[in-house]
């Protein structure tokens, strides 16, 4: 092989002589009338991929764009909804159709014949129902951020250290004492953490939700700690609105049919008949749902706990005392419906940091080790931590026991690990 030598050429040196067979360059083009303006520099473009936070060549991405759950976000991450919103659209269609038909075809007659208070009451109920529905649907129900890479690794290390020398896998449960009742914490393979008390993983939204009640397709969202009060107000006010419209439509048809045949009156008012049918088949389910959740609120229970029989003998086990009940109906109602609304733990509007490892999609039913951590999905909220349960211990591993008692209602005793 020939050795290659590199020489530094001075900028003022003459060009090397051309070889005999080399093609000589043609004559230079004559100069124009004047030197033209230099071409404009290309504007820096943001790349559609990458997780940069504002560097050239990368588009800054919001955290809602890389959210690991199955939720959909609107208005730049300000509003969130479940992945399947078809039933929610049907709910809006039924409410809007029934109310608009009532205001157009029934309220003018009732206002002339009876009182002007009927359309006013209906309007107040309608706006209250829509307000509660939208708040329930677009509010964060209490989603817990998934464990970061460091937290998941430390937790897996601790779980492995607690295992025995046999081939039996180490237990993935922890226990905490709440009001003298031992509560078992289950491990979530998707979120890579031990779920706090009353927390469950929603298989539809693929998120762990605090005080998980149920996933309601009619509102298009999970019902949890942060939107349960809006959900309860929605079904309660909707039952009043449905019963009010049903009674007013019956009154309208009765007054209009005086002196004529009732069947002919029904043929003349098809819109009122449609309202009557919708309200008749809806009122029973809505009233039953309102009564059931009134019982849950008075007992400080959730639908998930009632179905599983966590504090009763529904599954043949021994009945235990509900550790979250305050032994008073009024106190339970105030604690569930009037307590302070906790802040959201997911910073949807924040920017993804440049060194953040973006999570890859994973199914909630896959107990794989490569779960989707997102280190920056947590909002810097004073008094809160990134994950309420870390390394199998209660929240006061990072904060004081008094701070832990503020979210493990009504009280929390020091937890222990098996």
* Catalytic (active-site) positions: 216
Q: Which residues contact 121 (CB under 8 A, 6 or more apart)?
A: 244
Nearest to 271 by CA among 94, 37, 98: 98
Token pair belonging to 249:
């439509």
Distance CA 416, CA 192 (A): 20
How is residue 91 written in tokens? 């709910």
The Cα–Cα gap between 297 and 132 comes to 17
State the Cα–Cα distance between residues 178 and 387, nearest whole angstrom: 19
- b or e along 373-388 (b: 16 or more beta carbons within 10 Å of the residue's beta carbon)? bbbbbbbeeeebbbbb
Nearest to 357 by CA among 340, 373, 339: 373
Q: Cα dihedral angle (316, 176, 392, 145), rounded to 10 degrees? A: 80
* 3-class DSSP state of 283: helix
* DSSP-derived pairing of the beta strands 207-209 and 143-144: antiparallel
Helix, strand, or coil here: 214? strand
CA-based nearest residue to 114, from 256, 7, 10: 256
Determine contact, residues 285/119, Cβ cutoff 8 Å. Answer: no
Cα–Cα dist 399/284, whole Å: 47
The tokens of 55 are what?
Answer: 């560097």
Sign for the CA dihedral angle at 349, 354, 357, 359 comes to: positive
The CA angle 151-224-324, to the nearest 5 degrees, is: 90
Question: Helix axis angle, 228-256 relative to 270-299, nearest 10°?
Answer: 150
Report the DSSP pairing between strands 193-194 and 181-188.
antiparallel
Nearest-angstrom CA–CA distance, 415 and 405: 12
């Amino acid at each position: 092989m020939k050795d290659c030598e590199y020489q530094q050429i001075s900028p003022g040196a003459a060009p090397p002589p051309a070889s005999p067979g080399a093609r000589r360059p043609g004559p230079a083009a004559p100069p124009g009338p004047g030197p033209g303006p230099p071409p404009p520099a290309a504007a820096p473009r943001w790349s559609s991929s990458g997780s940069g936070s504002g560097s050239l060549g990368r588009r800054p991405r919001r955290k809602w764009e890389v959210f690991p759950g199955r939720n959909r976000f609107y208005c730049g991450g300000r509003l969130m909804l479940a992945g399947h919103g078809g039933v929610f659209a049907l709910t809006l269609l039924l409410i809007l159709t029934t109310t608009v038909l009532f205001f157009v075809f029934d309220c003018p007659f009732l206002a002339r014949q009876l009182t002007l208070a009927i359309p006013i009451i209906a309007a107040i109920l309608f706006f209250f129902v829509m307000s509660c529905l939208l708040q329930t649907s677009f509010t964060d129900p209490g989603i817990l951020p998934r464990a970061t890479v460091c937290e998941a690794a430390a937790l897996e290390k601790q779980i492995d250290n607690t295992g025995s020398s046999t081939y039996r896998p180490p237990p993935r449960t922890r226990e905490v004492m709440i009001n003298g009742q031992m509560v078992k914490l289950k491990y979530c393979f998707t979120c890579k953490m031990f779920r706090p008390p009353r927390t469950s993983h929603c298989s539809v939204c693929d998120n762990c939700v605090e005080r998980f009640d149920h996933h309601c397709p009619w509102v298009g969202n999970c019902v949890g700690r942060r939107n349960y009060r809006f959900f309860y107000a929605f079904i309660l006010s909707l039952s009043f609105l449905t019963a009010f419209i049903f009674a007013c439509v019956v009154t309208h048809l009765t007054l209009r049919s005086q002196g004529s045949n009732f069947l002919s009156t029904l043929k003349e008012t098809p819109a009122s008949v449609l309202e009557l049918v919708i309200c008749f088949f809806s009122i029973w389910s809505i009233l039953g749902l309102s009564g059931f959740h009134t019982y849950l609120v008075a007992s400080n229970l959730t639908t998930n706990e009632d179905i599983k029989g966590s504090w009763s003998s529904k599954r043949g086990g021994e009945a235990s005392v509900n550790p979250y009940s305050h032994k008073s109906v009024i106190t339970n109602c105030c604690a569930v419906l009037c307590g302070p609304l906790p802040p959201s733990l997911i910073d949807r509007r924040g920017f993804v940091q440049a060194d953040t490892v973006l999570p890859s999609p994973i199914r909630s039913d896959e107990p794989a080790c490569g779960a989707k951590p997102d280190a920056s999905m947590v909002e810097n909220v004073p008094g809160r931590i990134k994950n309420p349960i870390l390394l199998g211990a209660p929240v006061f591993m990072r904060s004081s026991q008094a701070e832990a008692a503020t979210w493990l209602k009504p009280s929390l005793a020091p937890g222990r690990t098996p």
